[in-house]
Amino acid sequence: MKIYDNHTHLNDKPFAGKEADYVARARDLEVVGMNCVGQDPEMNLGALRLARQFPNVKAIIGYCPDVAKDYDQAAEDLLVEQAQDDQVVAIGEIGLDYYWDESPRDVQRAVFARQLEVARDLHLPVNIHTRDAFEDCYRILKEANLEYGAVLHSYNGGPEWTEKFLGLDDVTLSFSGVVSFKNAKEVHESAKMVPLDRFMVETDAPYLTPVPHRGHQNEPGYVRYVAQAVADLKGISLAEAAQAAFENTMRVYGLNAEEF
């Protein structure tokens, strides 16, 4: 069985100096690979460094909504330059966050749309953060050219939004530890209805720790429990859920399954 963590922040401070330990611990739980995701210049560099260090770690780089206000031509030039690295598999996490509102919303929307264009020009998929902003996110994605794929990370929408997003070609939903939470009823319904070829699993570590480790720091290996939660909701085995998510991850990011 092969499990892949679509979205983790192994480049975050809680893992500093212990990254090799967490990669090994993940392997012990049959987690064979992971995407290390950047959010800003410092995190992007960290993702690149770890992807170069560990063969089973890939990098995703971009400017998240919190730092959209800092995105300018120099930032874009650096992003495009860094994205030439073979270890970069997507642009992200990019998108909209109307909960924290660290950047003005009009700036968030403009920078999100611009990074979608950058990703398309680079022939790369995108990894998307959206919080309290489904309507604008959906509109922007619908207007964009998503021929290289888009992944909604830590997806927490209910059935109505799930149906709408799945109506967009090349959109994949990625479930995090939230899907294992007892009271996340809408996410449960979404996990039940998503087709086997349209979902991934992730940790978003060090955040959103799944049951049975909720309340403790998350880590990439715990994506196994996310896959188990999805499997239970869909009435299939862990192996079936993990395999489906793994194949989807390989396809969307253009990865070779034999490398993991």
Structure tokens at 170: 């090349």
Whether 213 has a binding-site annotation, put simply, is no
User: By three-state DSSP, how is residue 152 classified?
Assistant: strand
User: By three-state DSSP, how is residue 82 classified?
Assistant: helix
The rounded distance, in Å, linking the Cα atoms of 161 and 159 is 6
Whether 153 has a binding-site annotation, put simply, is yes
Whether 123 has a binding-site annotation, put simply, is no
Whether 129 has a binding-site annotation, put simply, is yes
SS3 sequence, the chain? CCEEEEEECCCCHHHCCCHHHHHHHHHHCCEEEEEEECCCHHHHHHHHHHHHHCCCEEEEECCCHHHHHHCCHHHHHHHHHHCCCCCEEEEEEEEEECCCCCCCHHHHHHHHHHHHHHHHHCCCCEEEEEECCHHHHHHHHHHCCCCCCEEECCCCCCHHHHHHHHCCCCEEEEECHHHHCCCCHHHHHHHHHCCCCCEEECCCCCCCCCCCCCCCCCCHHHHHHHHHHHHHHHCCCHHHHHHHHHHHHHHHHCCCHHHC
Whether 81 has a binding-site annotation, put simply, is no
Whether 204 has a binding-site annotation, put simply, is yes
Residues flagged as binding site: 7, 9, 93, 129, 153, 204
Residues flagged as binding site for a divalent metal cation: 7, 9, 93, 129, 153, 204
